[in-house]
Amino acid sequence: MNRSRFGDLEVLCQTPTGKARETPLLFIHGAYTGAWCWNEAFMPWFAEQGYICYALSLSGHGQSRGRAYLDSFSISDYVDDVTEVVSKLSAPPVLIGHSMGGMVVQKFLERQSAPGVVLMSSVPPQGLLGSAFGLAFSRPHLLGDLNRIMGGGRPQMETLRDAMFHETMELERLQRYYHLCQPESHRAIWDMSLFDLPSLSRTHRPPMLVLGAEHDVLIPPDQVQMTALRYEVEATILPELGHGMMLETDWRIAADPILSWLESEGL
């Protein structure tokens, strides 16, 4: 793994040992995390399959610019980050966005297209309010804990496990993820809830794969189905996974369909 700077942005890179495929992959993380979440399993594995892999930490995240003024960043600022990285790559990448990163990808498509797009448990084009209301009724304690995290508080172990994973993750690994988590921009959360939702009439429509997780409590399968319906594609709901599908022990349940789809699209 190489850690490089694209201007003031942290970008992780994994390259294949043999001949690389023509189209690189650019991974975009969700709220409360950073580029690191892709480097646990996805980036090394996709590099083994021949892809040059990049993952950026959005502004205010990881080792990218602006940690001190995280709350000032909007979804549009995050789209600027993606645009900046894309412009510096040797070829247009497939964009793979998880959760909030999926919303960033959708907003990117208002500006320009991409060879392909993968939305993983993405915030739907209708925004976060639907899933927030559902969570308020089904798991009110979890919603309250997440709101506290957004205010800069540290997550409780049980909250992190309940929100992110289906498996009963071992404590050591859960603690490591806990310490890598961080607050999220209030402005970005409001943008995803109400103020800066995608305009589908202006959105480019490249080949798209929409994935959800059977046991996702944050973006449940019905929300994923709504995303797929709006973009006129079929949703794939993955069994035995929670929201943080790329970090679960069974992450291949998510990675394998992405690889099959990429190859079916000639990417």
- The residue ranges of the chain whose pLDDT is under 50 are 133-134, 136-137
**Residue with the two structure tokens 């919603």:** 143
User: What per-residue confidence (pLDDT) applies to 22?
Assistant: 95
Q: Quote the CA–CA distance of 38 and 151 in Å, as a whole number.
A: 25
User: What per-residue confidence (pLDDT) applies to 6?
Assistant: 74
User: What per-residue confidence (pLDDT) applies to 116?
Assistant: 98
User: What per-residue confidence (pLDDT) applies to 165?
Assistant: 77
Pick the CATH number of 2-264 from 3.40.30.10, 3.40.50.720, 3.40.50.1820, 2.40.33.20: 3.40.50.1820
For the purposes of burial, counting CB atoms within 10 Å of the CB of 137, is it exposed (0-12), middle (13-18) or buried (19 or more)? exposed
Q: Strands 94-98, 53-56: parallel, antiparallel or unpaired by DSSP? A: unpaired
Q: Where are the domains of the chain?
A: 2-264
User: What per-residue confidence (pLDDT) applies to 180?
Assistant: 87
User: What per-residue confidence (pLDDT) applies to 158?
Assistant: 67
User: What per-residue confidence (pLDDT) applies to 1?
Assistant: 58
User: What per-residue confidence (pLDDT) applies to 127?
Assistant: 87
CB-based burial, 203-226: b 16+ in 10 Å, e otherwise:
beebbbbbbbbebbbbbbbebbbb
User: What per-residue confidence (pLDDT) applies to 136?
Assistant: 45
Please check whether residue 12 is in contact with residue 35, taking contact to mean a CB–CB distance below 8 angstroms. Answer: yes
The chain-wide mean pLDDT, for the chain, equals 88
Identity of the residue numbered 245: M
